Structure 1
Amino acid sequence: MNKFWNWVRNEDNRTLYLNGTIAEESWFDDDVTPAAFKAELLSGEGDITVWINSPGGDCVAASQIYSMLMDYKGAVTVKIDGIAASAASVIAMAGTTVLMAPTALMMVHNPLTVAMGDSEEMKKAIALLDEVKESIINAYEIKTGLSRARLSHLMDAETWLSAHKAVELGFADDLLFQAAGDPAPPQPESFAFSRRTVTNRLLNKLPREAEETEQKQPAKPLYERLQLLKF
């Protein structure tokens, strides 16, 4: 059995580490992995801490972990020290308190699948993805209080959130580490960016000289235009 989690016990509480891809093998038709996770979760009492550094993975596994943590009797403190992307961001929403390192990232996007068959099979796949998306929005909505329409737009754009932006939008409650000193320093600018936004901004940075040259010559493919940019 592949375990993508690890429990560590100490005198004060229990700590769960979720590192790497969630469920390398799907939890569909698999009673062993969910049962094992639940057994370890319920093997003790009291508050727990969940550290997350994961690019995501199986949405079914994420849904079950989310539900188990939401139903857990003790307080659940989620700490994101690297990345909580895709399915991992869903698990993070189960935290009673969600904290992010100043350097951490969170990413939300639409669910993905692989489909094969005729047009009817493709329609079924699209319908399935739509329903899965709605179920994911449920978790985001409960935590953030944002409208379903706004959450849907964030997912459509494959949005990456800095720690401050995640706090601003309600995906997280605070930062893991705060700057010392009194009074508190002003909050830095927060960032949310998507693939579309980045592409458009990069294209807007094309040198004017290059644009003038292109007006006199046939348009170049996008990949050749991007080669003109400096990062």
Structure 2
Amino acid sequence: MGRPKLNLQFFGEKNPKKFWDMKMSSDKSNEADIFIYGDITSYRWNESDTTASSFKGDLDQLGDVSTLNLYINSPGGSVFEGIAIHNMLKRHKAKVNVHVDALAASIASVIAMAGDTIYMPKNSMLMIHNPWTFAIGNATELRKQADDLDRIAGSAFQSYMQKAGDKLTEEKLQGMLDAETWLSADQAFEFGLCDVVESENQMAASINSDLFQRYKNVPQSLIDNPKTTISADEMALRQRIADEAKANQAYLETILGGMYK
């Protein structure tokens, strides 16, 4: 049996729609807006066909902007894509303002750490945890998988620590990652993972309940009241994201089913 491969990503259709959108700000000519809504995905049909490289292409096409406004509402997804996007934003010469519109969970929270200033409405959340994967193999191969996961986790760990500074110890952060911790805006601010806590955003309370199945410590308040009234355009966007996520999940199950037949 060959060495197992890390599968820290979701699969999808060959020509999927992007999980991000970039455009110049309508009211300021030297600013651009980036929206990351939904799952962060990777489609490796060949070595060049990755969403991280496409993200970079779109970022480069924005030209010489002085400010990037990044809006996030994502349950996470591909670790490697997320880390690549985080590093692209950190290297960019523009000031990066991050707005957590509703949820920045898992690798989406690592992307958020690229912000020079991170804004969170009071009813938005940040979720951090250790990376996970699925694998097959013998005992030696599975131990190597665990070692690989530890190294991958180190990249995210450093991103959180760099942002938190002296507001968070390494021991405290590791405990939070081990426990899968859901942070309110006030808690994120306390630990240095958010710079500005804003008044409640009605849209920020609207979160797709499908993501709850992925994680083990979802706050009861989100389960009991996952959303409030939002605009028709926003509802349509969220429905599209949900439909694409379901299609991706169905494709993944088809692949996995074939592996065990």
TM-score range relative to shorter protein? 0.7 to 0.9
Matches within 5 A, 1:37-56: 37-43=55-61, 44=63, 45-56=65-76
1:35 aligns with 2:50: no
Going from structure 1 to structure 2, the CA distance change for 1:28 and 1:105 (only over 3 Å counts) comes to farther
* CA distance in 2: counterparts of 1:28 and 1:82, whole angstroms: 33
State the match for 1:228 in structure 2. Answer: none
TM superposition outliers: structure 1 runs of 4+ over 4 Å: none
- Residue of 144, 149, 152 corresponding to 2:171: 149
Question: TM-score when scaled to structure 2?
Answer: 0.65
**What is the one-letter code of the residue matched to 1:38?**
K
Asked whether the equivalents of residues 122 and 185 of structure 2 are also in contact (C-alpha less than 8 Å), the reply is yes
Number of matched pairs: 183
* CA distance in 2: counterparts of 1:163 and 1:76, whole angstroms: 19
Q: Deviations over 1:163-184 (max 9, x none)?
A: 1000111110012338xxxxxx
For the residue of structure 2 that corresponds to 1:73, the secondary structure is: coil
For the residue of structure 2 that corresponds to 1:171, the secondary structure is: coil
State the match for 2:193 in structure 1. Answer: 171
- Which structure has the bigger radius of gyration? 1
Question: TM-score when scaled to structure 1?
Answer: 0.74
Segment of structure 1 superposing worse, 153-162 or 38-47: 38-47
Going from structure 1 to structure 2, the CA distance change for 1:75 and 1:197 (only over 3 Å counts) comes to closer
* CA distance in 2: counterparts of 1:141 and 1:27, whole angstroms: 34
**What is the one-letter code of the residue matched to 1:19?**
Y
* CA distance in 1: counterparts of 2:19 and 2:79, whole angstroms: 14
1:105 aligns with 2:125: yes
* CA distance in 1: counterparts of 2:113 and 2:188, whole angstroms: 11
Going from structure 1 to structure 2, the CA distance change for 1:196 and 1:50 (only over 3 Å counts) comes to closer
Asked whether the equivalents of residues 37 and 72 of structure 2 are also in contact (C-alpha less than 8 Å), the reply is yes
* CA distance in 1: counterparts of 2:109 and 2:38, whole angstroms: 13
User: How large is the Cα RMSD of the aligned pairs?
Assistant: 2.2
Q: Please identify which structure carries the higher helix content.
A: 2
The answer for unaligned runs of 5 or more in structure 2 is 1-14, 201-215, 221-261
* CA distance in 1: counterparts of 2:103 and 2:180, whole angstroms: 14
1:132 aligns with 2:148: no
* CA distance in 2: counterparts of 1:176 and 1:120, whole angstroms: 49
* CA distance in 1: counterparts of 2:37 and 2:44, whole angstroms: 17
**What is the one-letter code of the residue matched to 1:15?**
D
**How far 1:28 sits from its partner (Å)?**
8.7
For the residue of structure 2 that corresponds to 1:42, the secondary structure is: helix
